Structure 1
Amino acid sequence: YAHDAQSGRVDPNRMTGYYDFPAKPLDMDGVLKTLAHTQEVRTYLESRHPQNAEYQALRVELEALQASEENEIVVDPKLLLKPGESSPELPKVLTLIARNLDDEMGGDYGEVLARLGKSELYDPELVPVIKAVQKRAGMKGDGVIGPRTVASLAGTSKADKITKVEVALEELRWLPSDLGSPRVFINQPAFTAAYIDNGEEKLKTRAVVGKVTNQTAFFYDQIEQVDFHPYWGVPQSIIVNEMLPRLRNDPGYLDRAGYEVTDSSGRRVPSSAVNWGAYGANIPYSVRQQPSEANALGELKILFPNKHAIYMHDTPQKSFFERDMRALSHGCVRLQDPRGMAAAVLGTSVDYIAEKLKHGHSTEKVTRTIPVYVAYFTAWPDMSGNVEYFNDVYDRDTRLMQALDATEAVRSPAS
């Protein structure tokens, strides 16, 4: 019990390469000696759990959920329905919309809902209804009924919430009991990054994380420096998979686009002088993009060196932040407010950051200890302790629950 409370019931690093956590040693002999000599067994075992407000809020939420009633109407949270397609879930969605019609929505769409409310076919006449519901919920309004639309109407089912909270509690045991202050907390399913100090969320900004095929890892580290007007060292995977096909037909395009090419000895060579057609997966050249407005990292990056080559950075692709689903990068974390985050970790002002950016490429070390959590929680409390729920964008909760069930089965006595 003491081990599970402190470190979790499963070893995350054995599940997937996307989990990367240091071991949390536990002196088992010391635990047994303490238990043998204390009258406060329950208090001691409770002390092995994470001692932070987030863990406590999740435990309170779990108790409340277990005592609550299930939603009256439960819609498949993974529903994905486009116009012209059919689903038995659609009448449930339409019933929920009809229940919550205000005068304006009722006047515009009451008749079509009354006529088609029992339909399993997503008729084109229903598309304006769905778009209006999505826009009212702060979404883009594309007419596709997906997980976010379902969640805005039906909420998350009791069973799904319980699963998300149980998963979150397990994941929190992988992290330090004291999360530290100040700290940076990136929650991938929420697509946000926050700077937290003395129990206050001083900054919260939208973020873009890795797409499903280039997932962002779940780990924690320590912020070390901010690079202004950074160079971008292009990963070999991007050179091979995205640049090489074009370079075979247009070998000089890197020269024109502001990239530098160096050979294995570090010598600069023109891109146009390389016979790119001679190479496949192993390219003996490095490519980096010079600082510019078009640079993939934008005007700054915030580094916490790690084996996953993940960091926070600006981006010229600002439109991505307007999307609801922001798993769109190659794995790094793009920030909507990179200047605000840089000012926070450097303990300075946004005006100072703006001044630094006037003077070209430079680097500034972070002088304080600031842990950064590149985290993955589909249930997470806000600063008031209210638990919010998010879509399992990488489908990691499912695999973790399977691992927890397998652990339980192995430990259970044979019947």
Structure 2
Amino acid sequence: MAVSGAALAMPSVVRAQDSFWDMFDRDRVLRNVDQNGNTAAAQALIATNEPILSYDTAYNLQLAISQYEPFVAAGGWEETPQEAYGLKLGESRKAAIALKRRLISSGDMAMVESVSDMIDAPADAGIRAFQARHGLVVNGQVDEATWYALSVPAQTRLNQLYLNAQRVQTMAANLSERYVVVNIPAATIEAVAGGMVEQRHTAVVGRVDRATPIMASKVSQINFNPYWHVPKSLVERDLTKYMQENPNYLAEQNIHIYDGSGNEISPATIDWTNIGNAVNYMYRQEPGAANSMGHCKINFYNPYDCYLHDTPSKALFGENARFHSSGCVRVEGVNQLVNWLLRDNGDWDQNKVDMTFESLQRLDVECKARVPLHTTYITAWANKQGTVSFRDDVYQFDAQGKVTFEA
């Protein structure tokens, strides 16, 4: 979605009481606006089969830069007043005028002859388009995340375009015909073949203090209904604390403790205030609905003990900021991704994957096709229809000016 031209005159201001809107009450506005249609139109802006990471994206970013540069040179978009916070369809407030001008400037709201101080159909569509481009929950309301995204200056967005154009151009040279990309700032996963996205998944990635590492590898194996061996780092950071707060925590989570000889140990025999002692044991969570890996784990070689996996915590996929993990990547709709990764094995289809999930059978399957996997850090990209998407600089790599990353 292109920014408005630098020399384009903004629409005049018409207050609600001076316009035709005074003929209608708020309920009439709500009845006449197709909010679901506006949401669908917003999502269509970004729901293309173009990969985030490709040479085409590098080209599209250059086009976006050519549009943003003169706009920024002319002063960029107006500041969104704090009073715009909370605005939604049917509400009248002076700040709605500034909000509409902001949305028109960034190309999210269609140009109109005049703007009133009511959030009308074009403004509702504009808010939803803006939310879709910024990876936010599309609800048509200027909630906290939307207001903060609106408040980012145009110069900052242009700087993101510059930096990410370099990143994409550099990384695109390493791509093969088929690959998986985890884009950390967007918390999304794309399964790409023949230059087209065949699957796109919402993800949960590492929080700031336990960041998902940036790397390149190849998918090697699928573990169905796996055990989860609690990493030593999580025993130190989390598990000892949980046991001090709730002595039944391990039993509730179906986690068993074993010593170096494979003998099961009672939690009651461990001093949970002594971290040095607690980390000497192996902690294993049994397969099942509560298992932290969910129904599967997707393995690929890396020195970070990082992997993709299912999760029992599905609600997190619906959040704006999906940075909750300890470094591994949780995948929404992981059963479909598993089927895509195993399609060259010849004896797997979606039904077999789903039935294996439901059976709770422990099974390890080697992938005949070692599909390349890239975890990346792209905070700005554009598609061929002109939609420019932005994400927050969660790990502060933009602030550091990083173009390449150590593998």
How would you bin the TM-score normalised by the shorter chain?
A: 0.5 to 0.7
Q: Is 2:144 the counterpart of 1:149?
A: no
Letter in 2 for 1:312: L
Q: Is 2:66 the counterpart of 1:63?
A: yes
Q: Is 2:231 the counterpart of 1:231?
A: no
Can you list the C-alpha shifts for 1:197-250, whole angstroms capped at 9, x where unaligned?
Answer: 111111111111112222212222111111111111112222122221232465
2:292/2:311 contact within 8 Å kept: yes
Q: Which runs of 5+ in 2 are unaligned?
A: 1-52, 87-92, 110-115, 132-136
Give me the whole-angstrom Cα distance separating, in 2, the residues matched to 1:336 and 1:393.
21
Of 187, 192, 208, 1:212 maps to 208
Letter in 2 for 1:166: Y
Give me the whole-angstrom Cα distance separating, in 2, the residues matched to 1:149 and 1:267.
55
Mapping of 1:344-383 within 5 angstroms?
344-347=340-343, 348-357=348-357, 358=359, 360-382=361-383
2:166 alignment partner in structure 1: 170
In structure 2, do the counterparts of structure 1 residues 198 and 175 end up closer, same or farther at CA, with 3 Å as the change threshold?
same
Give me the whole-angstrom Cα distance separating, in 1, the residues matched to 2:193 and 2:314.
27
In structure 2, do the counterparts of structure 1 residues 218 and 94 end up closer, same or farther at CA, with 3 Å as the change threshold?
farther
Residue 362 of structure 1 deviates from its aligned partner by 0.6
Give me the whole-angstrom Cα distance separating, in 1, the residues matched to 2:58 and 2:129.
34
Residue 193 of structure 1 deviates from its aligned partner by 0.6
Give me the whole-angstrom Cα distance separating, in 1, the residues matched to 2:103 and 2:64.
26
2:65/2:162 contact within 8 Å kept: yes
Per the alignment, in what secondary structure is the counterpart of residue 277 of structure 1? coil
Q: Which runs of 5+ in 1 are unaligned?
A: 1-49, 84-89, 103-108, 114-128, 405-415
Mapping of 1:96-175 within 5 angstroms?
96-97=99-100, 110=117, 137=131, 138-139=137-138, 144-146=143-145, 148-151=146-149, 157-172=153-168, 175=171
Length-normalised TM-score, structure 1: 0.66
Give me the whole-angstrom Cα distance separating, in 2, the residues matched to 1:264 and 1:134.
56
Per the alignment, in what secondary structure is the counterpart of residue 331 of structure 1? coil
1:184 alignment partner in structure 2: 180
Give me the whole-angstrom Cα distance separating, in 2, the residues matched to 1:397 and 1:180.
26
Give me the whole-angstrom Cα distance separating, in 2, the residues matched to 1:63 and 1:157.
17
Moved more, 389-398 or 237-246: 237-246
In structure 2, do the counterparts of structure 1 residues 142 and 71 end up closer, same or farther at CA, with 3 Å as the change threshold?
same
Give me the whole-angstrom Cα distance separating, in 1, the residues matched to 2:341 and 2:165.
28
2:94/2:117 contact within 8 Å kept: no
In structure 2, do the counterparts of structure 1 residues 76 and 219 end up closer, same or farther at CA, with 3 Å as the change threshold?
farther
1:75 alignment partner in structure 2: 79
Number of corresponding residues: 321
Of 306, 311, 323, 2:307 maps to 311
1:391 alignment partner in structure 2: 392
Give me the whole-angstrom Cα distance separating, in 2, the residues matched to 1:169 and 1:244.
44
Letter in 1 for 2:381: W
2:240/2:278 contact within 8 Å kept: no
Give me the CA root mean square deviation: 3.9
Mapping of 1:5-84 within 5 angstroms?
52-68=55-71, 70=74, 72-75=76-79
1:226/1:363 contact within 8 Å kept: yes
Residue 190 of structure 1 deviates from its aligned partner by 1.4
Moved more, 378-387 or 178-187: 378-387
Moved more, 277-286 or 231-240: 277-286
Residue 315 of structure 1 deviates from its aligned partner by 1.0
In structure 2, do the counterparts of structure 1 residues 166 and 355 end up closer, same or farther at CA, with 3 Å as the change threshold?
same
Give me the whole-angstrom Cα distance separating, in 2, the residues matched to 1:100 and 1:55.
25
Per the alignment, in what secondary structure is the counterpart of residue 215 of structure 2? strand
2:49 alignment partner in structure 1: none
Give me the whole-angstrom Cα distance separating, in 2, the residues matched to 1:165 and 1:224.
34
Give me the whole-angstrom Cα distance separating, in 2, the residues matched to 1:217 and 1:65.
31
Letter in 2 for 1:259: I
2:297/2:310 contact within 8 Å kept: yes
Per the alignment, in what secondary structure is the counterpart of residue 161 of structure 2? helix
1:255/1:270 contact within 8 Å kept: no
- Percentage of matched positions with identical amino acids: 22
Residue 170 of structure 1 deviates from its aligned partner by 3.2
Can you list the C-alpha shifts for 1:137-195, whole angstroms capped at 9, x where unaligned?
Answer: 5446886534x3354x57x6542232112221333355361411211111111121111
1:297/1:314 contact within 8 Å kept: yes
Give me the whole-angstrom Cα distance separating, in 2, the residues matched to 1:271 and 1:142.
49
Per the alignment, in what secondary structure is the counterpart of residue 79 of structure 2? coil
Residue 271 of structure 1 deviates from its aligned partner by 2.3
Give me the whole-angstrom Cα distance separating, in 2, the residues matched to 1:140 and 1:76.
19
2:84/2:99 contact within 8 Å kept: no
2:324 alignment partner in structure 1: 328
Length-normalised TM-score, structure 2: 0.67
Moved more, 321-330 or 378-387: 378-387
2:60/2:383 contact within 8 Å kept: no
Can you list the C-alpha shifts for 1:3-25, whole angstroms capped at 9, x where unaligned?
Answer: xxxxxxxxxxxxxxxxxxxxxxx
1:298/1:315 contact within 8 Å kept: yes
Can you list the C-alpha shifts for 1:348-387, whole angstroms capped at 9, x where unaligned?
Answer: 5321211222251111111113111111100124476754
Give me the whole-angstrom Cα distance separating, in 1, the residues matched to 2:83 and 2:201.
28
2:5 alignment partner in structure 1: none
1:378/1:389 contact within 8 Å kept: yes
Give me the whole-angstrom Cα distance separating, in 2, the residues matched to 1:76 and 1:288.
51
In structure 2, do the counterparts of structure 1 residues 352 and 382 end up closer, same or farther at CA, with 3 Å as the change threshold?
farther
Letter in 2 for 1:145: E
Give me the whole-angstrom Cα distance separating, in 2, the residues matched to 1:314 and 1:53.
31
Letter in 2 for 1:354: D
2:22 alignment partner in structure 1: none
Letter in 2 for 1:73: W
Moved more, 316-325 or 174-183: 174-183
